[in-house]
Amino acid sequence: MNTISKGKLLREIGMRLRQVRRRFNLRQADMALQSDCKRTTYVKNESGETFPGALAFRRWADGLNISLDWLICDRGSMVYKPKEQIKEDTREKKEKETPKALVVPKAVEEKEDITLSDDVRELLEHMEQVPLLYFEVLAFFHRFKLKYRELFEPTLRTTDEERE
């Protein structure tokens, strides 16, 4: 466990408050106003003499979009991403994680004797949109295949019987 002294933590938070103030081009009075405290109280926070109160932390987080994880523990980035950016990043991540094998193989589409029913096409479309569905169907298929091996491996069964 990483231990830190109270004094060191006070100084680090003060240093990060100064970084916030400079990044947003604010005066100490502005930071005090943002946290609804006196300027002298904020100066003591920034100089590492006192801890900011819980309400001050919350107001900085809400008002300036500051990450408290960063401000207190120095983890992550100083500011949170805008919600639109988070949604976009999440969508891109989902697109990367979605298995590419969900699309109907061209070989299947090109064969004239193989036609996919509307239900199968709908299932494939949903499986592309919902990866969990894809993995659930795949897991069911593997359980089914293990349970009814003889349906999928008739040649192995025949060879085993011939050996006996």
Contact 78, 20 (CB under 8 A): yes
Cross-strand partners of 79:
66
Domain boundaries, the chain: 6-73, 86-163
Closest CA to 150 of 139, 161, 140, 164: 161
As to burial, measured by CB atoms within 10 angstroms (0-12 exposed, 13-18 middle, 19+ buried), residue 13 is buried
Residues 39-95 have pLDDT tens digits of 999 999 999 999 999 999 999 999 999 999 999 998 888 988 766 555 666 666 666
**What homologous superfamily is domain 6-73 in, according to CATH?**
lambda repressor-like DNA-binding domains (1.10.260.40)
Structure confidence at residue 55 (pLDDT):
93
Query: Which 3-state string (H, E, C) describes 94-161?
Result: HHHHCCHHHCCCHHHHHCCCCCCCHHHHHHHHHHHHCHHHHHHHHHHHHHHHHHCHHHHCHHHHHHHH
The predicted-structure confidence for 90-131, as pLDDT tens digits, reads as follows 666 666 655 555 555 555 555 556 677 888 888 888 888 888
- pTM value? 0.50
